[in-house]
Amino acid sequence: MVDRRDLAACEDVVMFVNAAVTATGQREFRDDASAQRLSVEFLHEYILGNYRELYAASLALDINDFNAALIVRNLLVSSRDLTPEVRRREGELIARRLELMAPQRVWRLFRELAGRGVNNRRTRAIMRDWTAQRRDPVFDAVKYRTGVKATMRHAHLEVPAETGTFLFSSPRKVSAFGTPLFETWRQAHYAQRALYDLPYSVAEGLASMHGIKRATFLEKIAPQLTRLERLRLQDAAERAGVAAVRADLTAMPLTRLASYVLSLSQTERASRHDELRHAMTVSARRVAGPAAGTWGRVVAVLDDSFSSFGSTAKRQRPLAVALACRFLLKALAEEFTGLWTSGTHDPLLVRPSGPTPLGERLIDALELAPDRLIVVSDGWDNSPPGLAAEVLRVWRERLDPTGATAVVHLNPVYDAEGFDVKRLSASVPTVGVRDAEDVPALVELARFAEGRAGFAELRRYLADRQDRFRSRKAAA
């Protein structure tokens, strides 16, 4: 028998993981940014106060960078009463997570720690170790100058003499640098030619200072672009008529690619249909990896109602996740059917509009008697309200009491008021999803959300994930 307190703890942790996967502190369809931010910060404090060990352990899960940074910050702020053993484990988790995070996010985290005056020995050690393992400190100093500068100053890190000059004095006061990249950066303040050897984000500001035309700039900076910068600039380049920025779409991450597809107009999607479908399929297969084709018969109910527009801050994000899931699940399944709430058949032409008749689609899906039924929706079932929950309840009670079909609800939107993602029904596990890439791991986590597995099992699961998380480091 599962203990009551255990069950509460289990629910709390699953709730927190859902939040940490989906919440980004940005505006959503139904909440504004401040409500989101307030809600997330409170949740973090609550979990940190009650389950510090599990709070740290969630760094090993597929949570998003925004929440990872928040967790690291909160852990580093208070570490006074910890035993050395706990401290060491936390430190290991933090270090490992920072390695996985995008560098600009880590530098921003360091800046925030500096701003808050968090300067304990552990924080300084973590800053030192992370900085030391960076492959190209010179490049970092140029690209993330303010972050590097704040960190060096805050943690009293030792820097090579020239990096110190670069960071702490004005380029106008230095006549020449010995390090080539620093020298390029200095020259770029005067000569346009030098600019194109700098990272894109640095060059962009200098280009506008020199008054360089956008088309010319994009043409020449193209070799310096990172993969995601390239994807982001596709439209801008097309408008400016620059061919050099063309990206290889098949190499892009699945959910980003889905966002890109949705950013195109309907006519363009129709005219590039085959190319886009191929790119999505290849990208999805790469994510599925060896698991491809192992999930049996899968039916997905995908939400393309108006609320899947998200907000202007996260344009069409929920829809992009649904679209990416569609392709990923197709790759994972032996036999796949995708049902959009609007009734559309062509996934590449979906657009967010209309109400959400989830209940009706669920019956359509259940009629196909799949092995797995996956619902991707923000959980606001409004046509009629609550029909989906009733359908799932009655179906579980009367038609499938043994659980022959596994149902999982994936929700890409954090609901600030409920401190969790919105659930469809008590009888179906709901997990938060940020990138379609995490779906296999999330479906694994779903059994804890159902309340069938106990707290001890959850602890074991988290411990296992931590081990895997740490050993990946050794393998890497």
Partner 1 sequence: MSGGFAATGLVARPAQVWGAVRLVPLVREEPLVGLRLDRRVHEVGDPSIVDVGDGTYYRSFIPHAFVASWDPDGDRTAAFGTQLQERPVTPRTARMKMPARRALRRMARGGVGNRLRFLPMHLAMEGYLALHFGGPSIVWEEWTDRAVREGLSPRMEEAYCGYAVRGLADALKVFEIHRGQCGVALYVADTLASVFVVPHPSDYRALHATLLEDLYGEVLFHYANYVEAVPDFVVGIDADRVSSLADLRRAAAGQAGAWERFHHLMLSGLTAEGAYTSESVYRLGPFELSRFLPSFRLDEENHIGERIVHEDGRLAYCKTFRLSAAQIRRGHLLTTLHTHGWALDVAATALRTTPSALARRIRESGFEGLLRQHVVDRLEREGRRR
The C-alpha atoms of residue 283 and residue 277 are separated, in whole angstroms, by: 10
Q: Which is nearer to partner 1, 244 or 363 (CB)?
A: 363
Closest CB 388 distance from partner 1, rounded Å: 9
Q: Which is nearer to partner 1, 210 or 393 (CB)?
A: 393
Closest CB 307 distance from partner 1, rounded Å: 6
Angle at the Cα of 72 (from 66 to 76), degrees rounded to 5?
A: 145
Closest CB 313 distance from partner 1, rounded Å: 14
Q: Which is nearer to partner 1, 103 or 354 (CB)?
A: 354
Q: Which is nearer to partner 1, 364 or 450 (CB)?
A: 364
Closest CB 371 distance from partner 1, rounded Å: 16
Q: Which is nearer to partner 1, 151 or 307 (CB)?
A: 307
Residue 207, CB-side half-sphere exposure with 13 Å CA sphere: 21
Closest CB 338 distance from partner 1, rounded Å: 20
Closest CB 363 distance from partner 1, rounded Å: 5
Phi, psi of 221 (to 5 degrees): -85, -10
Contacts by 126-133 with C-beta closer than 8 Å and gap 24+? 126/76, 126/91, 126/94, 126/95, 126/98, 127/151, 127/154, 127/155, 127/157, 128/155, 128/157, 129/95, 130/95, 130/98, 130/99, 130/106, 131/157, 133/99
Residues within the interface to partner 1 (CB under 8 A): 29-30, 305-307, 353-356, 359-360, 363, 366-367, 380, 382-387, 389-391, 393-395, 397-399
Please report, as a single letter, which amino acid is at residue 67: N
Closest CB 394 distance from partner 1, rounded Å: 5
| Alpha carbon distance, N-terminus to C-terminus of the chain | 41
Q: Which is nearer to partner 1, 97 or 314 (CB)?
A: 314
Q: Which is nearer to partner 1, 185 or 395 (CB)?
A: 395
Closest CB 36 distance from partner 1, rounded Å: 14
Closest CB 357 distance from partner 1, rounded Å: 8
Beta strand 297-302 with 335-340 is parallel
Closest CB 315 distance from partner 1, rounded Å: 15
Closest CB 382 distance from partner 1, rounded Å: 6
Closest CB 359 distance from partner 1, rounded Å: 6
Name residue 409's beta-bridge partners: 375, 430
Torsion of CA 247, 253, 256, 261, to 10 degrees: 60
Q: Which is nearer to partner 1, 116 or 239 (CB)?
A: 239
The C-alpha atoms of residue 143 and residue 181 are separated, in whole angstroms, by: 11
Q: Which is nearer to partner 1, 7 or 394 (CB)?
A: 394
